[in-house]
Amino acid sequence: MRVVIQRVSSASCTVEGKITGAIDAGFLVLLGIEDADTIEDLQWLAQKITGMRIFGDENGLMNKALADIDGDILLISQFTLFAQTKKGNRPSFLKAARPDKAIPLYEQMITTLESVTGKKIATGIFGGDMKIALVNDGPVTIILDTKNKE
């Protein structure tokens, strides 16, 4: 699994003119799932996301986690995080998991993040043509990959 975490002041997802999820301060999380991903990857990643200390403290240092600021998460599925671009100019997405594998893991990530945070997770629509609006705070953007845990 691969995620791009953006610290945001606000973020929202719109599909066909309707807002499917919106948050104020917190994380916009773009989640890519590949065929090799497991529930263990998901659990590790959920803990890493929620424990990430990238919010400013009273001294302006990045020492606070999501819970410390009572922040929210907008979780968006994004298979394009597994684009392979070495050959030619048209990306290949062969490493991205097909929907029959990706959807259950995406839904489990929502459940796991809700369990860890004790809050409802805002989402997009898996496979939908989503329009994402955000105000990146900082900007702060972090990339995590479960294949690089060590």
Task: List b or e across 107-129, with b for residues whose CB sees 16 or more CB atoms inside 10 angstroms.
Answer: eebbebbeebbebebbbbeeeee
Catalytic residue among 38, 80, 111, 141: 80
Residue 103, Cα to own-chain centre: how many angstroms?
Answer: 14
Does 111 participate in catalysis according to the annotation? Answer: no
Q: Is there a contact between 55 and 7 (Cβ–Cβ < 8 Å)? A: yes
Cβ-based neighbours of 101, under 8 Å, separated by 6 or more? 33, 35, 37
Would you please indicate which residues are annotated as catalytic (active-site) residues? 80
